[in-house]
């Protein structure tokens, strides 16, 4: 039972006096308008901004005063954030319910550094796998790695789900600009056969390589898709079992299951139980990313991650980007009662970034008990969602501007475009500035009236403003910047989880989903009418499905 496991590391928590101070401070701040805060402090826009490792965060358009920030920073101190950061970086088993260290930071630790888990420095192993990945990627990219019939590999398909899919898809899309366009990359995750069918419909097996990515190598969706891939591949290659070695490689922690599937463990890329699925895009799970962009750029991405790691580990909290973002998320979630955060990248290549963040944030912090197994006192993870700008502006932004809910937003943008075309980029960035400005300052009835608006129409055209946002700016979307951006959110999630005193690194809800369907599959497939012992609704749905699939 998870809740009975005692914390291996007790965080030094005090009574969080800052929490009650923030609760009463909120009563004052909630009445303040950003218009006033900016008018009273002409320097606010420059003052409430931090730049570190090439990432600029403007948090001035948040509903905070200096006192709010002081109290939030005090909350971080009182929650033992500093000690928790050190515990993570030192390989302590802070994932207490699974008794595991949490060391995605070791995946990007430079060669020659040392991070010890169970008495062993794991950094050399990390680099040994990276070297094997580089060798493999170079061979595929150069055409040296041939398929069974001697043809070069033109298509690479990652088969995985959750953490073994979302990171690879997001990174591929984000870094497409840098990818080898001679190779087609696809991603199969859903157990819905359509996902597989559509991914391979225009491909030939002799030119197609599958990367089966699964930490456990037992996940229903991935194993089902992997077996279908094996059949499809064999069917196109004369049924010769020897072809599997040329068309399948695995990324896993489970060598025996990989061997059972028929993949030579020489073609297996390893990672470790101290890498959580949603924190694994920079491990061997990123093999498809490395094949796409090449080892050098993959290392540049790791370097970006590492720079943000070091910033998080060493910077004072008041200048610490992930800490500030985590604290602001807590401020809206727990004091304003905002339930969601919108992530709005103004960069088309980041179109899958919000989906990636949904897993990172909500699987990590969607928890209802503390490390000690007690019910949490405050709401945990907000719901993260979003779409790239400017598309969102023509749909759901209406609610952000004029709805009744307060939705804090993260705007993400880059100074330089990857595809400079006429004035496109200036117009794109003008939209970022205009949106954050409009959200913060709104439009008063007097302004609307001055525009000649008829009286009856004025209420409809008023924008209250006072809607908070962060603006995150970086120079250009590069592999290095992507690493920084992902690490920024990883550590913001860590900051939030530390303050709520929860285990951000387990996922019992997801584990439950992995076993639930197993019981029902035979009931749907059995030739004879099964004895059903579910509730009446589930029983009825099973019977309805069985009947209609036969009709
Ligand atoms: C991630 C989760 C989950 C996991 C998938 C795939 O943190 O644990 O999304 O990544 O369920 O698991 P496997 O990699 O074991 O197939």
3-state secondary structure 210-241: EEEECCCCCCHHHHHHHHHHHHHHHHHCCCCH
Nearest residue by C-alpha to atom 16 in ligand 1? 214
Which atom of ligand 1 approaches the CA of 507 most closely? 8
CA–centroid distance, residue 515 to ligand 1 (Å): 13
pLDDT 10s digits, 499-511? 999 999 999 998 8
CA–centroid distance, residue 224 to ligand 1 (Å): 15
How much is the pLDDT for 63?
98
522 burial via Cβ count (<10 Å: 0-12, 13-18, 19+): exposed
- Does position 172 have pLDDT exceeding 70, yes or no? yes
- Does position 161 have pLDDT exceeding 90, yes or no? yes
How much is the pLDDT for 159?
98
In whole numbers, what is the pLDDT of the chain averaged over residues? 95
Whole-number Å distance between alpha carbons of 165 and 277:
9
Check residues 124 and 9 and name the one with the higher pLDDT. 124
Whole-number Å distance between alpha carbons of 263 and 296:
27
Tokens of 176: 């497409």
Ligand 1 pocket test, pick from 102, 104, 158, 161 with the greatest ligand atom count within 8 Å of Cβ, gives 161
SS3 268: strand
177 is catalytic: no
> Which range, of 13-27, 315-329, 350-364, 528-542, averages the lowest pLDDT?
13-27
Q: Is 63 left (phi over 0), alpha (psi -120 to 50) or beta?
A: beta
193-200 vs 220-236: helix crossing angle, rounded to 10: 40
DSSP state of 528: S
pLDDT 10s digits, 435-473? 999 999 999 999 999 999 999 999 999 999 999 999 999
- Does position 287 have pLDDT exceeding 60, yes or no? yes
Q: What is the pTM of this model?
A: 0.96
Whole-number Å distance between alpha carbons of 343 and 411:
6
pLDDT band of 108, cuts 50, 70, 90: very high
Whole-number Å distance between alpha carbons of 395 and 215:
38
Average pLDDT over residues 427-432: 98
CA–centroid distance, residue 505 to ligand 1 (Å): 12
pLDDT 10s digits, 133-143? 999 999 999 99
Q: How many residues does the chain have?
A: 551
**Quick check: 402 and 466 in contact, CB under 8 A?**
no
**Quick check: 257 and 218 in contact, CB under 8 A?**
yes
Decide: 504 in ligand 1 pocket, CB within 6 A. Answer: no
Ligand 1 pocket test, pick from 102, 166, 219 with the greatest ligand atom count within 8 Å of Cβ, gives 219
Beta strand residue intervals within 131-287, DSSP E: 155-159, 184-188, 208-213, 248-252, 268-270
Of residues 276, 205, 214, 280, the one with CA closest to residue 246? 205
Share of the chain above pLDDT 90, in %: 95
460 is catalytic: no
How much is the pLDDT for 15?
61
- Does position 6 have pLDDT exceeding 50, yes or no? no
Tokens of 157: 């398909």
Which atom of ligand 1 approaches the CA of 213 most closely? 14
**Quick check: 163 and 348 in contact, CB under 8 A?**
no
What is the sign, positive or negative, of the torsion defined by CA atoms of 256, 257, 263, 265?
negative
CA distances 304 to 105, 343, 418, 444, 546, Å, are 12, 21, 18, 43, 52
Count of alpha carbons within 13 angstroms of residue 15, beta-carbon side: 3
- Does position 325 have pLDDT exceeding 70, yes or no? yes
pLDDT band of 8, cuts 50, 70, 90: very low
- Does position 11 have pLDDT exceeding 60, yes or no? no
CA–centroid distance, residue 507 to ligand 1 (Å): 9
Strands 469-474 and 55-58 turn out to be antiparallel
pLDDT 10s digits, 333-392? 999 999 999 999 999 999 999 999 999 999 999 999 999 999 999 999 999 999 999 999
- Does position 2 have pLDDT exceeding 70, yes or no? no
How much is the pLDDT for 3?
34
H/E element, 353: helix 353-358
Which residues make Cβ contacts (< 8 Å) with residue 244, sequence separation at least 6?
A: 230, 233, 234, 262, 263
Which residues make Cβ contacts (< 8 Å) with residue 425, sequence separation at least 6?
A: 416, 417
Decide: 158 in ligand 1 pocket, CB within 6 A. Answer: no
pLDDT band of 4, cuts 50, 70, 90: very low
How much is the pLDDT for 16?
74
Decide: 354 in ligand 1 pocket, CB within 6 A. Answer: no
DSSP state of 469: E
DSSP state of 294: -
Which atom of ligand 1 approaches the CA of 221 most closely? 16
Beta strand residue intervals within 87-168, DSSP E: 116-117, 120-121, 155-159
pLDDT band of 417, cuts 50, 70, 90: very high
Whole-number Å distance between alpha carbons of 343 and 360:
13
Ligand 1 pocket test, pick from 100, 163, 284 with the greatest ligand atom count within 8 Å of Cβ, gives 163
363 is catalytic: yes
pLDDT band of 517, cuts 50, 70, 90: confident
Decide: 100 in ligand 1 pocket, CB within 6 A. Answer: no
- Does position 115 have pLDDT exceeding 60, yes or no? yes
């Amino acid at each position: 039972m998870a809740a009975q496991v005692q914390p291996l590391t007790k965080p030094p928590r005090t009574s969080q006096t800052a929490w009650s101070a923030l609760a009463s401070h909120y009563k004052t701040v909630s009445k303040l308008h950003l218009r006033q805060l900016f008018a009273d402090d002409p320097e606010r826009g420059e003052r409430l901004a931090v730049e570190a490792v090439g990432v600029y965060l403007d948090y001035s358009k948040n509903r905070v005063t200096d006192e709010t920030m002081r109290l939030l920073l005090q909350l971080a101190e009182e929650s033992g954030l500093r000690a928790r950061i050190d515990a993570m970086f030192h390989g302590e088993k802070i994932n207490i319910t699974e008794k595991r260290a949490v060391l995605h930071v070791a995946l990007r630790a430079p060669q020659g550094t040392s991070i010890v888990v169970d008495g062993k420095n794991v950094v050399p192993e990390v680099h040994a796998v990276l070297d094997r990945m580089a060798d493999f990627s170079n061979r595929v990219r150069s055409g040296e790695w041939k398929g069974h019939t001697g043809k070069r590999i033109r298509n690479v398909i990652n088969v995985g789900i959750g953490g073994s899919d979302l990171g690879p898809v997001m990174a591929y899309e984000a870094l497409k600009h840098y990818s080898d366009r001679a190779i087609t990359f696809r991603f199969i995750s859903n157990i819905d056969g359509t996902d597989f069918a559509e991914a391979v419909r225009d491909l030939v097996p002799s030119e197609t390589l599958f990367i089966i990515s699964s930490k456990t190598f037992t996940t229903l969706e991935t194993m089902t898709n992997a077996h279908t891939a094996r059949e499809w591949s064999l069917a196109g290659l004369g049924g010769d079992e020897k072809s599997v070695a040329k068309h399948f490689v695995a990324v896993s922690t489970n060598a025996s299951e990989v061997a059972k599937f028929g993949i030579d463990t020489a073609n297996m890329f390893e990672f470790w139980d101290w890498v959580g699925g949603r924190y694994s895009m920079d491990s061997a799970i990123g093999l498809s990313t490395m094949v796409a962009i090449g080892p050098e750029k993959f290392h540049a991405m790791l370097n970006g991650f590492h720079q943000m790691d070091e910033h998080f580990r060493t910077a004072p909290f008041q200048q610490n980007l992930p800490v500030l973002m985590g604290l602001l998320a807590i401020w809206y979630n727990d004091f304003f009662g905002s339930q969601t955060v919108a992530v709005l990248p103004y960069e088309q290549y980041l179109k899958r970034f919000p989906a990636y963040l949904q897993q990172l944030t909500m699987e990590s912090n969607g928890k209802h008990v503390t490390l000690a197994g007690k019910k949490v006192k405050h709401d945990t993870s907000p719901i993260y969602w979003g779409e790239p700008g400017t598309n969102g502006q023509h749909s759901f932004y209406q609610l952000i501007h004029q709805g009744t809910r307060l939705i804090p937003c993260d705007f993400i943008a880059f100074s330089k475009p990857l595809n400079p075309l006429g004035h496109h980029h200036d117009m794109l960035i003008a939209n970022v500035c205009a949106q954050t400005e409009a959200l913060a300052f709104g439009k008063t009835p007097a302004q609307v009236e001055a525009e000649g608006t008829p009286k009856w129409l004025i209420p409809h055209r008023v924008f209250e403003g006072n809607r908070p946002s962060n603006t995150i700016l970086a120079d250009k979307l590069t592999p290095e910047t992507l690493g920084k951006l992902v690490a920024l959110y990883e550590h913001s999630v860590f900051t939030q989880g530390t303050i709520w005193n929860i285990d951000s690194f387990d996922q019992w809800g997801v584990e439950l989903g992995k076993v639930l369907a197993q019981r029902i599959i035979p009931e749907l497939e059995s030739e004879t009418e099964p004895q059903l012992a579910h509730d009446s609704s589930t029983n009825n749905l099973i019977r309805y499905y069985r009947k209609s699939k036969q009709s």
